[in-house]
Structure 1
Amino acid sequence: MNLKFTIPLMILFLGFSLQMIGQRTIKGTVTSTEGEPLIGASVVVKGTTNGTITDLDGKYELKAKKGDILEFSYIGFNSKDITIEDQDVINVQLDQGVKLDEVVVTALGIKKTKKSLVSAVSNLKKEVLLEGNQQNLPNAIKGKVPGVVVTNSGGAPGASSVILIRGSNSLSGNNQPLFVVDGIPIDNSTEYGESVATSNRAIDINSEDIESVSILKGASAAALYGIKAANGVVIITTKSGKAGKGELSYSGTVSFDNVVGTPDIQTKYGQGSMLSSGEITKETTFSWNDTVLDASVKTYNNIADFYRQALTHNHNLTYSGGNDKSTYYFSAGFLDQDGVINHAGYRRTSLKVKANSRLKKNLNVTGSMNYVNSRADRTRQGSSKSGSFRSLLNYPIDIDMKDYLNEDGTQKHIPGLTDFPIDNPYWSAVNNPVTNRVDRYISIGNVVYSPFSFLDIRYTLGADMFFEKNKSVYSYGSASFNDGYIGEYSQFKQITTSTAMLDFHKKFNDYNFGLILGNNVEDNYRRTTYWSGKDFIEPDFVSINNVEQANRSVSQNIRRYRIIGNFADFKVDWKSLVFLNFTGRYDLSSTLPKSNNGFFYPSIGISIIASDLLNELGINFSNDILSYWKLRTSYAQVGKDAPPHVLATPMMSSTNSYTVDPQGF
């Protein structure tokens, strides 16, 4: 047993997200050795998430400092690292260097070599994903894949990230790609939230458990997934055990987050404004008083003092091994991420077990179970009366924001603002909390039976289920709900997927043929419950039982739908030089009328390794001019069905419903 400790030597500095003094704008152009601009090439400050991609002219621009290492990469080309010295312009030429025999995972877990691909597929290995110490899988992809844009929703711990593959495709607002783990689709929805940062469920995946990620960007690449793949597909393959002696491995990182900068505010005037009579009044959030010019008046840096340095530590332990017939993999991970605002944080504990066994020479079985428990503590954001941003900008510099309690324990508001109060952000962080709890289980079983050398029979059954509870409180005395408010949103969601495939493969002379026929069934179930109440009877008791029945509201919703798909994938190649691929999928959706609930999604693609084909035909191809030349074209059609219950009036029940002030929601 080998014990590996991979804690970085510079553990206290590697995770800093603070942009250091001395940064400047670096720009330039990325081209091939022939001078052609490379569109969508990745430019990343190595070891960080600070990155960008080149535009239509191959140009890029990003902030960096002297000593940073810029990593330039592009699919089909060798990457290049350049250390920044005193130059502000860095132009780079990348050499072509494709590993043609490298295998990538494509739709429905089908493995293909890079040279045979007739559609746009990008592949990221585990080493690339772990660069930058990112705790969120979408953020780990950021800046590393051409044509894929990842946008953070905010800087709060566990905040969600939006992934767009080749831009937006839907007017409905949902442009997120399909996420697939070890052959089964998983949920990547965003949690329910009111005026707070929220998480999407991709954050539940521990990056340390990932072996590789394939991103299907074109419609032809994703057509086999049918209705679900209109926005592209992110395929995740998790780690497995390897034959050999059991190996225990530990890795850990520590990082710090700091606020890069705060808004510039005036430091000359204190609270007050002038009335038409010429008198100064303090019953305002305006700062138009000259009292702070008096040296005896103390001033405060309320905005900068509100934020803190936040600590994040991540620990992962794995144990794996096996023999020539069976392998096993076990991992345990713990992430603790504090926010730059007190009382904000994100905690995640994950456990994963995966085993593989070759029961017979032609029978292989794989099973895995992944459990994730997460807790997010949120603080109010935005411009609502209880949002920290609005409060910070409104507090005058001659009032100490940390002094937020009266002698009787009630909240101090800005003096004079009795009619239109706003919550003190320190008080709000403690007394207006939003908490989110998730328990998630992902179970996958896979069987491969090969009765003949030319036939594989595959079956995969998987379930992704999670329980989520989101609780929102406005304590008694809050500016948003003066008499108090409590609400809780809970949901249970399950996606069950069954996929059966017949995989025929045969070689005749110089031709390789492959045919896959399959059936896919996906069941979705979601049950949500929401209850709320306002006006607490006893001010200090936060509970729905402390609310009059007339001020309570309860509602429940159950949603079910099913997609049944039959699909086929036919491919043929000649001498591994010319590749032709046809796919087709017919989907039936339960959300559409029975008379018109089926859709066919076809694709066709062809690719030619022209550089090798010319040599095969006896035409001398000079490597000095072009070392590798591949032509590829494809056509495909994908689309979406309708969400549940939009084509007919659903049954709904609600008790004591009421509408509240939507400000800040």
Structure 2
Amino acid sequence: MNLKRILLLLLFFGMVSLQAQQDLTGTITDESGQPLPGVNVLVKGTTTGTVADFDGNYSINAATGGVLEFSYLGFITKSVQVGNATTINVVLQEDVSQLDEVVVIGYGTSTKKDLVSSVASIKSDVLENQPVARVDQALQGRATGVEVTSNNGTPGTGATIRIRGNSSINGNNDPLYVIDGFIAGTGFNLNTINVNDIASIEILKDATALSIYGTRGASGVILITTKNGKGMAPGKPVIAVNHYYSLQETANRINILGGQDFIDYKNESYQFVPGPDGFGLTDTSLPFVLDPENTTTTDWLDVVEQPGAISNTDVSITGNSENANYFISGNYFNQKGLLRGSGLERVNFRTNLDIRVTDRFKAGIRANMTHYKIENNKVNYGNIVSSVLPIRPIYLEDGSFSFENPISAGLERNPEADIQHRVDHDLVTQLITNAYIDYEIAKNLSFKSTFGAQLNYLKQNNYLPGILPERVTGGYGRINTRFTKSILNENTLNYNLDLDDHSLKILGGFTWQKDNNESTSAEADNFPNDVVSFNNLALGDSETATVGSGYGQRTLTSFLGRVNYGYKSKYLLTLVGRYDGSSVFETGNKYAFFPSIGAAWNVDEEDFIADSDVINRFKIRGSYGIVGEQGVAAYNSIATYANTATVFNGSLVNGVLVGQVPSSGLTWETTKQLDVGLELGFFNNRISFEADYYKKTTDDLLLAVALSGQVGANSTTQLQNLGSVENRGFEFGLNTINVQNDNFTWESNLSISSNKSEILELDDQEYISLQSTGNQGGNSARLIVGEALPTFVGARYLGTYKTADEIIADGREGRSFIGGPRYEDVNGDSNINDEDFQVLGSPVPDFYGGFRNTFTYKNLSLDVFFHGSYGAEIWNVRTQTAYYGRGEQNVDPIVLQRWIAGVNETSDIPRAGPSNSLFNVNSDLNIEDGSYLRLKTMTLNYDIPMEAKGLGNVFSAMNVYVTGTNLLLFSDFTLGDPEVNNFTDGSGLGSVSQGFASGQYPYAKTITLGVKVEF
């Protein structure tokens, strides 16, 4: 009987419990009434959970008497007991000052409040809705101290990133990339990281943040953390789809002379071609006069340009359970370039998985695989705007391509022929995987071991068919391949202790990384036909065919440690050290120690300010330390051999000679850096401000020193530690919430940075010359002690000669003429040469930054972002070509403002003149102001309410957006876009060679329409 009663009672309470389960709905907002998307809603004590949609709405099933937990980053977690009501609306309070935001640092994380380092953090919402192929292109202007310059608009081409200036001359000034804890090795390409996979990007800038990476931290470190399911409410996985389509057009088209203007200018120029009387200004020696009536006019830019387009689709699945979380994504990106024949097609797959095996043991893996194809430019844009004449037709009367220059009578490239017949593309496959185990040895003590690998395969295919003028012996084919492999193993111990007012965190570890690279090349010419192109090089001429291969290996072994101590959350101290050993240096110099120390004072925790209604954040911090740079090729410290050949007894005999003289005594470049920072927050962080001053000095710079020919080596230079350079600057960041009410919010973000570089020492060298490409601009960029890195030099341009008396006064009679260029003769010898050169400026800007405004009205938001740079100088190679008067080239339209006798005799633009040294003088006539302000992006986003037309039955969230990129540019620069950077030169110093413009691949003005949905 008692058993029956018990069973009946259990059944009764079970039925009551079952009946008490109910569907609950509600809206989650902040204190101003704004909906909070992505809030985690969890039935406490169970695995039942959900996530609020874009409008802050949620729906969940819970029992009466249960407790719902609402949690969201930056807000205080709130618990609500379930009663009889089926609607529970929740208001979350902002976590005052948000100083507990987690920031990723090297080998760990830190709350923002406990951080003593200078670290810039960019979250995923800033990166989204930007139609770019690469991460670096989305970073511009977003963080202080980080200068991002888009070199050109070529699909897949990366930007140049400089963190607090150039720290090396011969070494690498690019930052170190760390992806989910894996230190990117040789061959890593940012093309392989899908922007939509990124959860956050941290940029490490000061010594305490960088010295944990030792020899690789001198140029800054960029930490990329990809998404996972951690923090997501357990339950049904979220499927997200993001698709956008972009239309592109040339943003700032370069102007070129049309056929008639070109003919007029050249006819005038040829009046001054040197004749029988030497320099004589006669018209008796003209080779010919162009006939305006019988000359074809071709706009070659119209021939090669096309509207661009981008199609991008992202699909991801995110999930979380009690013991595992995951993020799986796929991406397809396809870009048609602004120049015909150029483009990028990419496929990307990612899997992130974390598993809790036991309460003390965790494991996980990050894997990313990418394959892409770049169709390289078949035509050189700069060549089109200068060397391809507008009086050349595309086709001859018989329908064949026109290759002959009508002035020089030489054969030249035809852009249309190149587009139709030239083959030039790159195929790249990259895999990055990093697995870890994490074991809690004891309370507060844990061990973590990671093992990762990066595999890169590059294949470059190139073929020039016999129809092209470069090929006088039939077609030419070439295949280059490169395989790089990087293996990384890292093992760390972490000890964390919180005891009353004291906190202590200790990190110790051992790491090992090995990079290998292998390359092969093969080329052949004189193909019998162009049918198989590069696919069968054996069809080429075996006597002229060549093959080559290469191999390199380097290893880095390191011990690292970090100690963080805090007292009452007021006083913070950080000690960091790393001991690196590199295989690239000889015995005795292989190892170096890189220490740093940092401290911070959270003034807002002091009693005299803790209760302030105005100041809620006040931190003073400082750091000092040493980081390094290897800057040495794998075998620079040892002697190598090179192939050679000589004639012996009438026959060609192969042999070897010393290829490279060993650079004995080489050691690390070392950078000592001081940083002082201030962080302020007012009115519950409605106004927040951050400022930094830094000074870093790099010693033992690696410079290539010329060797005597008597050494008998194939190499003409040898690396030595000789120089020193200094960078110093200020960084300012300001964030404000200008308006915040029930329906409308307006937030602003401003960043301004300034970096001044100075070369302190170049051994006993007066300067090092950086050679630009082409015939103009050579020897105009130098590395000079006491000046910026780099610096432009040349003669001061004084205008044109207006009278013969001015020519006589300068001692230039017989060597110049009225309307010709006039330069400052510094030494008074009446000759204009290197001895008259002066410092003219630097391509490094005085300051740069970004300004972002975000406006939100109910479900509608508008994001407007400007980026600007001020004070940089740009060397316009094309204007120098114009004044140089080379007859076989087109010239800049600035010549339309030239001095013309009886027409425009007050002009300071030189008259049309001969192709001689008088016009080919490096001077500030060729320098332009590179300052600009650009409307970088503008995004209008609408979150569609799910109750509209029953969308909530299918989707959990949906929004549509339209983004404009590069919509406006304010600049006085005349040659397209002022954002120019590195050029390829013969000095081996390309990492500091910048600021030359000759007509780069155009930048795109882009309109993007996109939609995002979640299921």
Which among 241, 260, 265 is matched to residue 257 of structure 2? 265
Change (3 A) 1:131 1:143: farther
User: Distance in 2 between the 1:564 and 1:219 partners?
Assistant: 20
Post-superposition offset of 1:151: 1.1
Say which SS state the counterpart of residue 495 (structure 2) adopts: strand
User: Distance in 2 between the 1:638 and 1:420 partners?
Assistant: 54
User: Distance in 2 between the 1:130 and 1:507 partners?
Assistant: 38
8 Å contact kept, 1:187–1:201: no
8 Å contact kept, 1:611–1:630: yes
The aligned residue for residue 504 of structure 1 is 495
User: Distance in 2 between the 1:391 and 1:469 partners?
Assistant: 28
Change (3 A) 1:423 1:267: closer
The aligned residue for residue 292 of structure 2 is 290
8 Å contact kept, 2:257–2:390: no
Say which SS state the counterpart of residue 412 (structure 1) adopts: coil
**Which residue identity lines up with residue 106 of structure 1 in the other structure?**
I
What is the total number of aligned residue pairs between the two structures?
A: 535
User: Distance in 2 between the 1:304 and 1:602 partners?
Assistant: 57
Aligned: 1:347 with 2:323: no
User: Distance in 2 between the 1:654 and 1:446 partners?
Assistant: 49
Post-superposition offset of 1:396: 4.5
**Which residue identity lines up with residue 626 of structure 2 in the other structure?**
Q
Q: Tell me which moved more, 110-119 or 415-424.
A: 415-424
The aligned residue for residue 93 of structure 1 is none
8 Å contact kept, 2:417–2:468: no
User: Distance in 1 between the 2:388 and 2:644 partners?
Assistant: 40
TM superposition score normalised by structure 1: 0.75
The aligned residue for residue 515 of structure 1 is 506
Post-superposition offset of 1:415: 5.9
8 Å contact kept, 1:258–1:309: yes
Change (3 A) 1:157 1:188: farther
Post-superposition offset of 1:486: 2.1
Which among 611, 619, 623 is matched to residue 630 of structure 1? 619
The aligned residue for residue 423 of structure 1 is 413
8 Å contact kept, 1:370–1:442: yes
User: Distance in 1 between the 2:334 and 2:396 partners?
Assistant: 29
User: Distance in 2 between the 1:268 and 1:167 partners?
Assistant: 46
8 Å contact kept, 2:405–2:412: no
Structure 1, unaligned runs of 5 or more: 1-96, 190-199, 283-287, 382-386
Say which SS state the counterpart of residue 312 (structure 1) adopts: strand
Matches for 1:351-370 after TM superposition, within 5 Å: 351-370=349-368
The aligned residue for residue 758 of structure 2 is none
Q: CA RMSD in A?
A: 2.8
8 Å contact kept, 2:423–2:464: yes
Say which SS state the counterpart of residue 588 (structure 2) adopts: helix
Aligned: 1:147 with 2:127: no
User: Distance in 2 between the 1:536 and 1:632 partners?
Assistant: 67
Post-superposition offset of 1:626: 4.4
Post-superposition offset of 1:480: 3.3
Aligned: 1:593 with 2:586: yes
8 Å contact kept, 1:270–1:289: no
Which among 448, 456, 462 is matched to residue 466 of structure 1? 456
8 Å contact kept, 1:556–1:654: no
Post-superposition offset of 1:317: 0.6
Say which SS state the counterpart of residue 416 (structure 2) adopts: helix
**Which residue identity lines up with residue 514 of structure 1 in the other structure?**
K
The aligned residue for residue 450 of structure 1 is 440
Show CA shifts across 1:497-542 (max 9, x none): 1110110111222100111110010111111112222333446652
Show CA shifts across 1:296-350 (max 9, x none): x874433234311111111011112131111222111000001111111101000
User: Distance in 2 between the 1:98 and 1:538 partners?
Assistant: 71
8 Å contact kept, 2:296–2:393: no
Matches for 1:544-623 after TM superposition, within 5 Å: 544-613=537-606, 615=607, 619=608, 623=612
Which among 213, 218, 240 is matched to residue 230 of structure 1? 218
Which among 454, 466, 474 is matched to residue 476 of structure 1? 466
8 Å contact kept, 1:179–1:236: yes
Show CA shifts across 1:565-603 (max 9, x none): 011111110111111010111111111122221100101
**Which residue identity lines up with residue 370 of structure 1 in the other structure?**
N
The aligned residue for residue 89 of structure 1 is none
User: Distance in 2 between the 1:377 and 1:298 partners?
Assistant: 31
Post-superposition offset of 1:257: 1.7
User: Distance in 1 between the 2:171 and 2:151 partners?
Assistant: 15
Post-superposition offset of 1:99: 2.1
Say which SS state the counterpart of residue 627 (structure 2) adopts: coil
Change (3 A) 1:572 1:256: same
Aligned: 1:219 with 2:214: no
8 Å contact kept, 1:121–1:214: yes
The aligned residue for residue 103 of structure 1 is 102
Change (3 A) 1:188 1:156: farther
Aligned: 1:239 with 2:227: yes
The aligned residue for residue 42 of structure 1 is none
8 Å contact kept, 1:228–1:640: yes
8 Å contact kept, 1:188–1:202: no
**Which residue identity lines up with residue 105 of structure 1 in the other structure?**
V
Post-superposition offset of 1:230: 1.5
User: Distance in 2 between the 1:431 and 1:266 partners?
Assistant: 27
Change (3 A) 1:592 1:650: same
8 Å contact kept, 2:303–2:416: no
The aligned residue for residue 527 of structure 2 is 536
Q: Tell me which moved more, 322-331 or 581-590.
A: 322-331
Whichever of the two has the greater Rg, that structure is 2
Post-superposition offset of 1:394: 4.2
Change (3 A) 1:222 1:620: closer
Structure 2, unaligned runs of 5 or more: 1-95, 272-282, 646-653, 656-772, 775-983, 986-1015
8 Å contact kept, 2:185–2:515: no
Change (3 A) 1:451 1:388: closer
8 Å contact kept, 1:554–1:654: no
Matches for 1:309-324 after TM superposition, within 5 Å: 309-324=307-322
Post-superposition offset of 1:186: 1.5
The aligned residue for residue 164 of structure 2 is 166
Post-superposition offset of 1:289: 3.9
8 Å contact kept, 1:379–1:433: no
Post-superposition offset of 1:353: 1.4
User: Distance in 1 between the 2:396 and 2:128 partners?
Assistant: 42
Say which SS state the counterpart of residue 157 (structure 1) adopts: coil
Say which SS state the counterpart of residue 499 (structure 1) adopts: strand
TM superposition score normalised by structure 2: 0.50
User: Distance in 1 between the 2:286 and 2:174 partners?
Assistant: 56
8 Å contact kept, 1:270–1:291: no
User: Distance in 1 between the 2:237 and 2:644 partners?
Assistant: 56
Q: Tell me which moved more, 448-457 or 270-279.
A: 270-279
Matches for 1:370-409 after TM superposition, within 5 Å: 370-380=368-378, 387-401=380-394, 403=395, 406-407=398-399
Say which SS state the counterpart of residue 213 (structure 2) adopts: helix
**Which residue identity lines up with residue 421 of structure 1 in the other structure?**
L
User: Distance in 2 between the 1:427 and 1:405 partners?
Assistant: 15
Q: Tell me which moved more, 265-274 or 630-639.
A: 265-274
8 Å contact kept, 2:256–2:385: no
Change (3 A) 1:380 1:584: same
The aligned residue for residue 438 of structure 1 is 428
8 Å contact kept, 2:239–2:318: yes
User: Distance in 2 between the 1:326 and 1:445 partners?
Assistant: 15
Post-superposition offset of 1:471: 1.8
User: Distance in 2 between the 1:518 and 1:404 partners?
Assistant: 70
Aligned: 1:255 with 2:253: no
Give percent identity, aligned residues only. Answer: 21
